A and B are shown apart, each in its own frame.
Chain A
């Protein structure tokens, strides 16, 4: 009984000592932006193990074909394809161009989209060419060898028993410090010092949180970093995007007011510097939203606002339609491209499958989050250019830089049905092939 107490106390003390030592070694440098090389060392080990694993593993032919897709799609237009079909027809009847074979075009297009389409694949995690020892990515890879199983089991122990508690502690500390720090700074009167302190507090907390995810971020073209009074737009893959970007600069966040923990964080953040939080009811009023954002942007002393125009998380293989709202505000747009490396952890938040808590758990039990951030040169709306065109221009620039597929499909298709207007467009096009431009009614 007595011995139990003693050994329990001893374990507790050792545990506390170890924990505080490790956390201090990781946390303090993070807060001041200094690197002790721990994360870099960890990453080197990861890369090395991956290489060893690949050399010894049988590579199936499946790996290369995954990059190509299941089918090679026909790329002819409607006019081209149906035109070719009709050429085989005996030219006997005057007027009216319909042939029974017209249907071939639609049926082939339809079956092609059933086998492989551009949209639905964007809402699930990207398939990997070779397994990275995380159970969750093992879709096409079945039992391969004992060696691999052992490595995988070892990986589970390391990830769940060592990395996870460490990361949770760091995240907890980071968020607590964010709330306390911003509230304290909020007590100060408005001044240059307050702004400087606010930026410092924010940066430190985001750096701690980034450590809490073992995030390795490479920033490119820092000369294009967003400036005050501007609007920063980026492609959206996960809530972590905010942490990734805020590690290198200070932004005014834009979003909906939440309850619970999120709400506490939001309320304290806004005490130290202006962020733009909307009530749920306000979000529906587009004019109100635009006005508040315009007012914020017009004040050149305020931090650049951070917006994700896709409106939802996409799996980082493509950029989907940018909603034009952010591009109607005016001001300078600073586009940013974020590309995650899926090798060590999948950052995509599939909100249909996982809620926020399970998502964060998955993040913290991955090997690491590796990503590249490119700051693109600022863009402005040109004379006579409408918001939609401008939005597409920015979207293309981001897609090109990040090596992502540029799609015009709406990310909202994740949950909503596609609008009938697209089908009507197709019908109109086909009709003009039937009776020419002067169709009646």
Chain B
């Protein structure tokens, strides 16, 4: 009996996603199941509203920023490939031992790419720099109404001072990496996917 979903996942697609993201066959089919269950419009793509319907995500202070990470610049719909590509950032790095990509391109879940994901959560206008303003906005999302503007401002100033090395009063990606070099990114930005 075939599946009733109108957009069935073909074997070739699964193989392509496997190569690109490193997920196993069964993980991909299960995540596809999840994708279709979120897709209320049943048109093969997810909109921002589809994500916001998840209560645990809606109460996450950075929920909107995380949802935004799935959508490429200027687009309002994400398909399954894009969905998987973003989730792939959170695969544990140890899982890479089995499928080493011969072409040598950096896997999506490398330490660098995980840090890039986090960097982009701060970088609101996608100009590859975290300005004081952007940092303030993200901080405001995280603390709500509980901290005054002045206090938040001084926290932002301190953070930029600590990280900024070339004096442009903003944090570039390489400065970001330097500040977090001792952090166990591999563990903290990974999710254990079961097989």
Please pick, from A68, A99, A116, A142, the residue contacting B1 in the complex, using a CB distance under 8 A. A142
Tally of contact residues, B, Cβ under 8 A:
66
The residues of B that contact A52 with a CB separation of less than 8 Å are: none
Contact A115 B191 (CB under 8 A): yes
The residues of A that contact B5 with a CB separation of less than 8 Å are: 139
Nearest Cβ in chain A — how far from B115, in angstroms? 10
The residues of B that contact A110 with a CB separation of less than 8 Å are: 57, 60, 62-63, 66
CB of A152 within 8 A of chain B? yes
Contact A117 B61 (CB under 8 A): no
Contact A113 B188 (CB under 8 A): no
Separation of A149 and B163 alpha carbons in the complex (Å) = 64
CB of B99 within 8 A of chain A? no
Contact B183 A88 (CB under 8 A): yes
Contact A142 B3 (CB under 8 A): yes
The residues of B that contact A109 with a CB separation of less than 8 Å are: 56, 60
CB of A196 within 8 A of chain B? no
The residues of A that contact B98 with a CB separation of less than 8 Å are: none
Separation of A118 and B37 alpha carbons in the complex (Å) = 14
CB of A403 within 8 A of chain B? no
The residues of B that contact A84 with a CB separation of less than 8 Å are: 188
Contact B55 A413 (CB under 8 A): yes
CB of A241 within 8 A of chain B? no
A and B contact pairs by CB, cutoff 8 A, 26 listed: A61-B195, A62-B29, A65-B195, A88-B180, A89-B183, A100-B163, A100-B179, A101-B183, A103-B142, A107-B66, A107-B117, A110-B60, A110-B66, A112-B191, A113-B56, A116-B34, A119-B55, A121-B37, A138-B3, A139-B33, A141-B1, A418-B55, A427-B61, A427-B142, A427-B146, A434-B147
Instruction: Give the 7 A-B residue pairs with the shortest CB-CB distance, closest first.
Output: A427-B144, A431-B146, A113-B56, A110-B66, A422-B59, A441-B148, A72-B192
B-side residues, CB < 8 A to A, are 1-5, 26-27, 29-31, 33-34, 37-38, 51-63, 66, 87, 90, 117-118, 121-122, 138-139, 142-148, 151, 154-155, 158-159, 162-163, 171, 176, 179-180, 182-185, 188-195
